[in-house]
Amino acid sequence: MPPQTLTIKTACPHDCPDTCSMLAYVEEGRLIGVAGNPDNPYTRGNLCRKVAHYEERVYSPDRLHYPMRRVGRRGEGRFERISWEEAIGEIAMRWKATIAESGAEAILPYSYAGTMGVVSMSACDGRLWNRMGASRLLRTICSAAAETGYGYVNGWSGGIDPEDFANSKFILVWGTNLSSTNVHLMPYLKEAQAKGATVVVIDPFRTRTANSADWFIQPKPGTDGALALGMAHIIFSEGLHDEAWLEAYSVGWREFRERCAEFPPERVAEITGLAQDEIVTLARRYATEAPAAIRLGYGLSRTANGGSMIRAIACLPGVIGAWGKGGGGLLLSTSAHFPLNRPAISRPDLRPAENEPSCADYGRTEPRAINMNEIGKALMETQDPPIRAIYVYNSNPLAVAPNSNLVKQGFEREDLFVVVHEQMMTDTARYADILLPATTHLEHLDLMRAYGHLYLNLCVPAIEPLGESRPNIEVMNALAKAMGYADSAFDETAEEIIRAALNSDHPYMEGITYETLQEHGFAKLRTQSDPFIPFQEGRGFRTPSGKVEFASQQAERDGYDLLPNYTPPAESAEAAPELAQDFPINLLSPAAHHFLNSTFSNLDSLKKSERAPRIWLNTADAEARGVAEGDWVRVWNRRGAIQLQAMVGDKVKAGVAWSPSLWWHTDSPEGGNVNALTSDRLTDMGGGSTFHTNLVQVALL
C-alpha cells in the first residue's frame, strides 16, 4: 500500500510582504513537498521559487540538530555536541556572572526577522529581555527610515489593500522590485493593465519588474525625493491638486506648495538625470488618470536620505486626494491594520522597575538601546558597560549587517560570550561559543500577520522537530527559568500566546479565533469592505492632528524640517566629491531573486539559479576598465574589497552598479559578500540602514 499523504494547512513565516498560506505534504512523518494554498485569494496556490522546494531547506546538510560547544577558533565552525541541559546551564551561569559584574545591559539580544511569527519573533523579542533588563536592540535594519518618513505625513496607519490595485488606473511601482520581492502583487497589476491601467516602474536599475511595466523611469539613486517634490510642484502649479480634499483633511498644504515651488522641472531634471518632459508628463498623468496608486518599496529607503525621500513621496496621494476612494492611495505596509493584543505578546510589564540596579548604576532609568545597523561599532566601542555577551536568533548578522569586516572583528573578541540559536550553520553560527539548534516553521506553532496584505495565517507544525531542535519560545522559557525568573509568563506555550494575541474586541477580529484559523489556515481581517478602502472621508490617519500632515510639528520637534525637503545622499558625488573621485560608482545591493536576505543562499538549487555573486555595470564603465561580460572584477572601497562577476549593458546608467544580495561569506570569493563594502552610516531619519549609499571602485581582477 502506498504511504498515506497528509496535507497540513500552514503558512510561510519569512520576511516578505506576501506571507503565503502554505500546504505541507507529509508521508510517514517526512515532509515531501509544499504548495501555495489555493483557497487563499492572495496566495492563489502559488509559492515563490525560494520556498517552493522547502523540503530542500528542512533537510539541508547545513541544518543544526544538536546543541554544540565551540572547540575550534571563532568562525572556523568546529563544535562538539552537548546536551540541552549543559547548554542552558552554561549560558545561565555565564549571564549571571556578567550581570553581577557589569549589569544586565552588558548582555545584548540580537535578532531580526528570520521568522515573522508573533510567537517566535514578537514574543521572543520582548519577554525574556524585558525581564532581564538587557540592552535593547533598535530593530532598524529594514523599515525604520521608511516608517519614520511615512509616519510624519500619514501617521503609522497602514496602507491600501493590495487587492485594490486591480482597480487602479495609474500605478507607480516606486523603489521596489515586485517580481522578486512581492511576487503575489503582480497578478493584481496585470489585472489592472488588462483593464487599461498604466504601470510605471521607478528604479535606477531595469529590474524584472521594469520589464513588465508600461513605462520605466530611471532616476539617479537617492534623488526620488526631488522627483516627488517636483511632481507635486507641477500638480499644484497646473491646478491639478484636490483643493477640497486638502482643505478638509490635511495640515500645511499651502506651505508645502511653496516648498515644492523650489523644485521646478529644470532643477529636478538636473538632480535626477531625467528629461524635463518625462517629469512633467509623469506628474500630469499621476494627477489625472484616477484612481492612481503607489506601491512604495522599503528598498528605496535604504539610502542615506531615505527617510526624507519616503516622506516626500508619501505626500503625493494627499495632494491629488487619492486616499479613501478605492483603487487609489499608497501601500508601503499593511502591518498597522492588524489589531492584535500587543502587550500580551511582548509583555512590556515584565520590564524592571525604574531605578532598579543595572541601568541605574550607569545613571539611566531604562536600559540603553543599541542600533542593530551599528553592531560592529557597538561590539568594538560601547562602554559603560561594554557588551560582554550576545544572544543571536532569527538573524545572521555576519552576513546581513553593513560594514561586515567590522562586525567580524566584533564577533572575534575573545572576551565576548556568543550564543547563536539557528536552523543552519550560517556565517554567524560559526562564531558561536554555544550553538543551539532551532526548528523551522514546519516543526513549530506560530501566528503570522503580514505587511503586504490583510490575512492572518496560522503556522501549524507538519513534522516533528529535526534532531533535538527547539522553537525560540521554548529555549527562552528554559533560559528564563535557569536565570531564576519565576514569572508565569515563562510558563506560557505558543498556543497560549497566540490565543492571548487574538483576544481583541476590535471589529476587524470579529469571528477570527484560534479554532477558525486552525480550520481554514488563514482569515482576512473583517474590514468594512473587501477590498478594504482605508481613510474614507479622511478618517484614520494616526498623525497628531488626525489629518495628513504636509507640515509636521512632530518632525520639527525631532530636529527635522517642518516640511519635506530634498538633500543629496551623503557619500554621493554631490555630497562627497573628493571621495567620489577615488570611488566613482554608486553600488546598490538590493534583494536577490532566489535568496531572501541570507536565507536560502546555502541551497544548491537556488545558488545555481542565482549563478554567482554578480555586479551589473554600465557598458561605458565596463569598457573604461577593460571589463567584458562574465569577467570577474575586484570591487572595493575603504571598508573592504570583494570579488564579483560582471554583467555588462544598459540596465544601469553610468556611475551606478547593482549587486543582488545576499550570498554567504563562506560561499563568496576572498573578501566576503557585498556587506564588506556597505556602510554602517544611519539614514537621515529613524536610524535606518543605508545599503544603497555606497561608493566603490571597480577594476578587472
Ligand X SMILES: Nc1nc2c(c(=O)[nH]1)N[C@H]1C(S)=C(S)[C@@H](COP(=O)(O)OP(=O)(O)OC[C@H]3O[C@@H](n4cnc5c(=O)[nH]c(N)nc54)[C@H](O)[C@@H]3O)O[C@H]1N2
Residues near ligand X, by CB under 6 A = 15-16, 112-115, 120, 141-142, 174-177, 180-181, 202-205, 207, 221-222, 224, 297-300, 303, 393-396, 400, 421-424, 426, 438, 472, 588-593, 595-599, 658, 661-662, 674-675, 678, 691-692
| Length reported for the chain | 701
Residue 302 Cβ, how far from Mo ion at the closest point, in Å?
A: 9
Q: Which stretch binds Mo ion (CB under 5 A): 134-142, 157-165, 180-188, 685-693?
A: 134-142
Residue 75 in contact with residue 439, Cβ under 8 Å?
A: no
User: Which of 6, 40, 3, 2 has the alpha carbon at shortest distance from 462?
Assistant: 6
Q: Which residue is nearest to Mo ion (CB)?
A: 142
Residue 47 touches which member of ligand X, Mo ion, none, C-beta under 5-8 Å by kind = none
What is the phi/psi pair of residue 5, to 5°?
-95, 125
Residue 1 Cβ, how far from ligand X at the closest point, in Å?
A: 35
Residue 595 Cβ, how far from Mo ion at the closest point, in Å?
A: 12
User: Which of 140, 146, 143, 596 has the alpha carbon at shortest distance from 373?
Assistant: 140
Residue 692 touches which member of Mo ion, ligand X, none, C-beta under 5-8 Å by kind = ligand X
**CA–CA distance, 380 with 456 (Å, rounded to integer):** 41
User: Which of 504, 375, 512 has the alpha carbon at shortest distance from 454?
Assistant: 512
Residue 142 Cβ, how far from Mo ion at the closest point, in Å?
A: 3
- In the complex with ligand X, which residue's Cβ is closer, 418 or 512? 418
- In the complex with Mo ion, which residue's Cβ is closer, 452 or 568? 452
Using CA atoms, how far residue 183 sits from 197, 213, 330, in Å, is: 19, 14, 18
Residue 207 touches which member of Mo ion, ligand X, none, C-beta under 5-8 Å by kind = ligand X
Strand extents, DSSP E, 395-448: 417-422, 434-437, 446-448
User: Which of 173, 145, 156 has the alpha carbon at shortest distance from 297?
Assistant: 173
**CA–CA distance, 73 with 430 (Å, rounded to integer):** 9
Number of residues that bind Mo ion (CB under 5 A): 1
95: three-class secondary structure by DSSP: helix
556578567: which residue's cell? 98
Residue 17 Cβ, how far from Mo ion at the closest point, in Å?
A: 10
- In the complex with ligand X, which residue's Cβ is closer, 99 or 588? 588
Residue 449 Cβ, how far from Mo ion at the closest point, in Å?
A: 15
Residue 596 touches which member of Mo ion, ligand X, none, C-beta under 5-8 Å by kind = ligand X
SS3 for 264-318, per residue?
Answer: CHHHHHHHHCCCHHHHHHHHHHHHHCCCEEEEECCHHHCCCCHHHHHHHHHCHHH
Residue 431 touches which member of ligand X, Mo ion, none, C-beta under 5-8 Å by kind = none
Residue 185 touches which member of ligand X, Mo ion, none, C-beta under 5-8 Å by kind = none
- In the complex with Mo ion, which residue's Cβ is closer, 323 or 664? 664
Residue 181 Cβ, how far from Mo ion at the closest point, in Å?
A: 9
Residue 697 Cβ, how far from ligand X at the closest point, in Å?
A: 18
315-335 per-residue burial string, b: 16 or more CB within 10 A, e: under 16:
bbbbbbbbbbbbbbbbbbbbb
- In the complex with Mo ion, which residue's Cβ is closer, 302 or 653? 302
- In the complex with ligand X, which residue's Cβ is closer, 142 or 387? 142
| Binding status of residue 142 toward Mo ion by CB under 5 A | yes
| Binding status of residue 674 toward Mo ion by CB under 5 A | no
CB neighbour list of residue 177: distance below 8 Å, 6 or more residues apart: 203, 205, 207, 208, 209, 297, 299, 590, 591
Residue 15 Cβ, how far from Mo ion at the closest point, in Å?
A: 5
User: Which of 386, 392, 332, 424 has the alpha carbon at shortest distance from 664?
Assistant: 424
User: Which of 129, 125, 161 has the alpha carbon at shortest distance from 41?
Assistant: 161
Q: Which stretch binds Mo ion (CB under 5 A): 137-145, 353-361, 383-391, 432-440?
A: 137-145
CB neighbour list of residue 526: distance below 8 Å, 6 or more residues apart: 507, 508, 509, 510, 511, 512
Residue 675 touches which member of Mo ion, ligand X, none, C-beta under 5-8 Å by kind = ligand X
Residue 301 Cβ, how far from ligand X at the closest point, in Å?
A: 8
- In the complex with ligand X, which residue's Cβ is closer, 215 or 362? 215
- In the complex with ligand X, which residue's Cβ is closer, 173 or 563? 173
635 forms bridges with which residues in the sheet? 642, 698
Q: Which stretch binds Mo ion (CB under 5 A): 140-148, 306-314, 369-377, 454-462?
A: 140-148
State the cell numbers at 368. Answer: 540603553
| Binding status of residue 251 toward Mo ion by CB under 5 A | no
Residue 492 touches which member of Mo ion, ligand X, none, C-beta under 5-8 Å by kind = none
- In the complex with ligand X, which residue's Cβ is closer, 242 or 446? 446
Residue 15 Cβ, how far from ligand X at the closest point, in Å?
A: 4
- In the complex with ligand X, which residue's Cβ is closer, 549 or 621? 621
Residue 358 Cβ, how far from ligand X at the closest point, in Å?
A: 25
* Neighbour-count burial of 690, counting CB atoms closer than 10 A to its CB (0-12 exposed, 13-18 middle, 19+ buried): buried
Q: Amino acid identity, residue 12?
A: C
Residue 428 in contact with residue 396, Cβ under 8 Å?
A: yes
- In the complex with ligand X, which residue's Cβ is closer, 198 or 598? 598
- In the complex with ligand X, which residue's Cβ is closer, 48 or 509? 48
Residue 10 touches which member of Mo ion, ligand X, none, C-beta under 5-8 Å by kind = none
Ordered strands of the 79-81 beta sheet: 79-81, 68-70, 434-437, 417-422, 389-393, 107-111
- In the complex with Mo ion, which residue's Cβ is closer, 182 or 637? 182
CB neighbour list of residue 360: distance below 8 Å, 6 or more residues apart: none
Residue 95 touches which member of Mo ion, ligand X, none, C-beta under 5-8 Å by kind = none
Using CA atoms, how far residue 318 sits from 158, 258, 268, 549, in Å, is: 15, 16, 21, 9
- In the complex with ligand X, which residue's Cβ is closer, 168 or 308? 308
Residue 141 Cβ, how far from Mo ion at the closest point, in Å?
A: 7
Residue 230 Cβ, how far from ligand X at the closest point, in Å?
A: 14
509559492: which residue's cell? 47
Angle (deg, nearest 10), helices 276-288 and 265-272? 110
Residue 462 touches which member of ligand X, Mo ion, none, C-beta under 5-8 Å by kind = none
Residue 98 touches which member of ligand X, Mo ion, none, C-beta under 5-8 Å by kind = none
Residue 144 touches which member of ligand X, Mo ion, none, C-beta under 5-8 Å by kind = none
Q: Which stretch binds Mo ion (CB under 5 A): 91-99, 142-150, 454-462, 608-616?
A: 142-150
- In the complex with Mo ion, which residue's Cβ is closer, 124 or 596? 596
Q: How many CB atoms lie within 10 A of CB 650?
A: 12
Residue 215 in contact with residue 189, Cβ under 8 Å?
A: no
**CA–CA distance, 449 with 444 (Å, rounded to integer):** 16
Which residues form the interface with Mo ion (CB under 5 A)?
A: 142
